Structure 1
Amino acid sequence: MASPLRVGVVGCGNIVEQYLATLPHLADVRFVAAADLDPARAQAVADRVGGRALTVDELIADPEVDLVLNLTIPDAHDRIALAAIAAGKHVHGEKPLAATLERAKPVLEAAAAAGLVASCAPDTVLGTGTQTARAAIEDGLIGIPISATATMMAAGHERWHPNPDFYYQPGGGPLLDMGPYYVSALVTLLGPVVSVIGAASALRSERTIGSGPRAGEIIPVNVDTHVTGVLTHASGALSTIVMSFDTVGTKASNIEIHGTEGSLIVPDPNHFAGDVHLKRLSDPWQDPWETLPVSGGYVDGGRGIALQDFVRTDGSPRTSGELAFHVLDIMETLLRAAHEGRSLAVESTCERPAPVPLTELD
C-alpha cells in the first residue's frame, strides 16, 4: 500500500470537523481534495487543510486520489462507494456501510471484484480504550469471557440537535445510530455473533425539537426508540445490549466484560480513549477495581485513524467492510427478532479484528 495514501473527502458537513482534527497528523495519509454538494463548504475544507475543491464527479475521477473518504449521509453511502470503486478507488466511509444490509452487499462485492478495499467507521475501536480492554482479555486477566453488557441510554437527540428528524425515521433510532460503536466494540472484544433475540418499543409517536431555529416544532417518530437484546457470540459468550432514546440517564457502565477470573469496565466506545478498570476474582472483597495501564491501541487517536491503519496493515484495515457488514447484519437481525418475538440467526460473520499494539502516532 503506497504511502502517503492520497485521500479525497466527499461530504463536508459537521462530521468532517472531527476528521480534520486527525488527518493532518497522520504520517501515512495526505489530504488532496474535497467535494460537497455545496461548493462553498468544499472550498472551506480545502483551504483549511491544503488541497483542491472539486465536484463529486471530479474527485471520484481524479487520478491523484487513492481513497475516497465517504462522509455523506447514510442514504448516499452505497452510491458514492460504488462510484468510487468503479473509478478504481479504495473507500472508507462513515457508519453504516450502507443504509440497509441489502444495499451494503453490492459495495463489498464490487470492491472484491475490483481488488479494492472498502472499509468503514467506527474506528474508535482502534483507540487505547477498547484496545487496552482487548489486551487484558488476550492476556487472560479475566479468564474465559462469559458475558458482556452494553448500555447507551439517553433522552433523545431532539433535545440538542437542531434538525433531528432523521434519527426518528427508518434507518435511524438508537440502535442504528449509536449501536455501531457498541456492537463493533463487542465484536472486537468477543468475536462475531451467531444469533440474537430482543424486544423493542416506541411509546411516543412525536418528539419536540428543543434547540435551534425549529425549537418547539413537533416531529413524528417512526422507529423503535428503546431496543434491548441478547447477542450470542460464536465463542458462546452472551452480550446484553440496551440502546434507548427514552431515558433520562443511567449510571450503568457503557460496556462491561465478565469472565471466569475477573471483570472489566470498558470506556465509552464512542470515544478513542478512557480508563479500563479490572476487578480480579482473586481479590473480591477489597476495593479491587484497579485501573489498567494503557497497553494497546493508537495513542491520541481520532476519527480517521483507520486511514493510518489502512496503510500500516497494507490495505487490510481492522475496520474492514466485512466487520461493518456483520455489525449492520447484527443490528438489522436484532430489530427483526424484536418484532417477530423469537431468536434469529445472524447469517453473516467476520474475522475478529486483530488487536492493535500500543502505537504512538508519528
Structure 2
Amino acid sequence: MSGGPVGVAVIGAGNISGQYLGNLTRFPDLRVLAVADLDEQRAAAAAAEHGVERSGSVEQVLAMDDVEIVVNLTIPAAHAAVALEVLRAGKHVYTEKPLALDTPAGRAVLAEAEARGLRVGNAPDTFLGAGIQSALRAVNKGLIGEPVAATTALESNGPESWHPSPEFLYADGAGPLFDMGPYYLTALVALLGPASTVAATARKSRETRVIGSGPKAGTEFAVEVPTHVTALIEFAAGAGASTAFSFDSPAAKRLIEIGGTEATLALPDPNTFGGPLQIRTAKDEEWRDLPIEGTEAGRGIGVLDLARNLRAGTPHRASGDLALHVLDLMSAISASAAEGSFQKVTAELGTVEALPADWDPFARTL
C-alpha cells in the first residue's frame, strides 16, 4: 500500500499485549485492524478492550489484505516459527524479544525476509525512548570523551512473584539473560557499537520455583535455564563491559553506566522509556542531571518507527539486524558459560542511528 496509516495486526493476546495495544491504537500513523491468538476468545476480549474491530485465528488475520505489519507477541519458543509464517504470508513482522531461540533460527528469519523483500523489526524498543536516546546523543556529542567501559546489572528474585504464568520465563529462550538481557545489551550495542568477543559464567540456583500470584498461585514448575549469568563483553570499537543478569537476588538492582575518558553516564533502567540521565566527571563531587529529550510513549514505538520508515523507504531502527546481533551476543554468552571459553560474536551490525529529539509518535505524518 502506497500511503496513509499502516495497517497492523497483533498475534498473541497474552500479558504484554495490553501495553502494545494500548499504545498502537493511539498512534495516528497506525491502524490496528485485528488481534489473533490460539485462544480466539482471548483474542476477541483483547480486541474489544482496545476498540479493535476484528479478531480471530492466526490464519484469518494473515489472510487480511489490509494488514501490512504483524506484531508477533507469542512466547519466545514460537517467535521464529510465527515470524516465518507472517513473512510467507507477505507481511512485514515485528517480534517481541528475543528474535529466536538461537542464532541460526534468527538468521533464517532474516533470510526469508530478504528473499521476499520484507522487513523484520524486533523488540526491545525501549532504547528508542527519551532516556537511552538522550544518552546516545550525549555519547555522540563527545560529552564523556572516548567510551572506555560499561557496567550493567539486572538483579531480582525473579518474575514468579507477580507474573500469573511465569513458566515460559524459565524455559529455553528466556531466563534472566534472554528475557531481560535484550534491554541492557541493546542499549549497550546502540551506545558502544557491535560486540566482538565474550567470556561468561552461569548457574542455576534452584531446580523448581513456585508461582506467587494469580489463579495458579502455589503451583511448582521446573527451571530449565541458568538463573544467574555474568559476562565480560569486548566491543569492536575497543570498549569493554561487565554485565550481570540474575533472578537469584532478593535485592532488586537496575544498573547501567557508560564510562569514558572525560566522564561517566548513569543511564535509566533500560526497560523504561524515560530518565533520569546523569553525568559525572572527575571534578564533580556528585552526579549532575542531563536534560531528557524524546518520547516516553512506551512499547510500540518501534512498530511505529518501522511503519514510518516503511512508507519513506528508509531504514528503521529496531531492526532485524540489531535483534540478530543481540541474539548472537546472548548465544555467545551462553556458549561461553557452558564451554568455559571465549566466544566470538559473528552477526554483523552497522551504526544504530539516533532518533531526532523532536520525534513525535502522536503526530500524523502518513
Q: TM-score range by the shorter chain?
A: over 0.9
- The correspondence of residues 98-247 of structure 1 with structure 2, limited to 5 A, is 98-247=100-249
Residues 150 and 255 in structure 1, CA contact (< 8 A), matched pair in contact too: yes
**Alpha-carbon separation, structure 2, partners of 1:38 and 1:310:** 28
2:306 to 307, 310, 320: 310
In structure 2, give the amino acid aligned to 1:164: P
- The Cα offsets for residues 165-218 of structure 1, whole Å up to 9 and x where unpaired, read as 222222221101100111111101111101100111113222222223333333
**Alpha-carbon separation, structure 1, partners of 2:270 and 2:241:** 15
Q: Which residue of 2 aligns with 1:256?
A: 257
Residues 130 and 185 in structure 1, CA contact (< 8 A), matched pair in contact too: yes
Give the percent of matched residue pairs that are identical in Structure 1 and Structure 2. Answer: 44
Partner-residue secondary structure (3-state), 1:25: coil
In structure 1, give the amino acid aligned to 2:223: V
Structure 1 residue 96, shift from structure 2 partner = 1.0
The change in CA–CA distance for 1:62 and 1:213 in structure 2 (over 3 A counts) is closer
- Name which of structure 1's ranges 107-116 and 20-29 shifts more when overlaid on structure 2: 20-29
Does residue 28 (structure 1) correspond to residue 29 (structure 2)? The answer is: yes
Q: Which residue of 2 aligns with 1:360?
A: 360
Does residue 68 (structure 1) correspond to residue 66 (structure 2)? The answer is: no
**Alpha-carbon separation, structure 2, partners of 1:191 and 1:328:** 15
The change in CA–CA distance for 1:158 and 1:50 in structure 2 (over 3 A counts) is closer
Does residue 329 (structure 1) correspond to residue 328 (structure 2)? The answer is: yes
**Alpha-carbon separation, structure 1, partners of 2:52 and 2:227:** 41
Residues 194 and 349 in structure 1, CA contact (< 8 A), matched pair in contact too: no
In structure 1, give the amino acid aligned to 2:259: H
The change in CA–CA distance for 1:224 and 1:304 in structure 2 (over 3 A counts) is same
In structure 1, give the amino acid aligned to 2:360: E
Residues 31 and 49 in structure 1, CA contact (< 8 A), matched pair in contact too: no
Residues 71 and 94 in structure 1, CA contact (< 8 A), matched pair in contact too: yes
Partner-residue secondary structure (3-state), 2:266: strand
In structure 2, give the amino acid aligned to 1:39: E
In structure 1, give the amino acid aligned to 2:348: T
TM-score (norm 1): 0.94
**Alpha-carbon separation, structure 2, partners of 1:17 and 1:61:** 23
**Alpha-carbon separation, structure 2, partners of 1:13 and 1:165:** 13
In structure 1, give the amino acid aligned to 2:299: R
How much is the aligned-residue C-alpha RMSD, in angstroms?
1.6
Structure 1 residue 52, shift from structure 2 partner = 1.3
**Alpha-carbon separation, structure 1, partners of 2:323 and 2:116:** 19
Unaligned runs of 5+ in 1: none
TM-score (norm 2): 0.93
**Alpha-carbon separation, structure 2, partners of 1:119 and 1:189:** 19
In structure 2, give the amino acid aligned to 1:57: E
**Alpha-carbon separation, structure 1, partners of 2:337 and 2:343:** 10
Residues 90 and 116 in structure 1, CA contact (< 8 A), matched pair in contact too: yes
Residues 98 and 173 in structure 2, CA contact (< 8 A), matched pair in contact too: no
- Name which of structure 1's ranges 253-262 and 33-42 shifts more when overlaid on structure 2: 33-42
Q: How many residue pairs get matched?
A: 356
Partner-residue secondary structure (3-state), 2:25: helix
Q: Which residue of 2 aligns with 1:350?
A: 349
In structure 2, give the amino acid aligned to 1:360: D
Structure 1 residue 250, shift from structure 2 partner = 4.8
Structure 1 residue 106, shift from structure 2 partner = 1.2
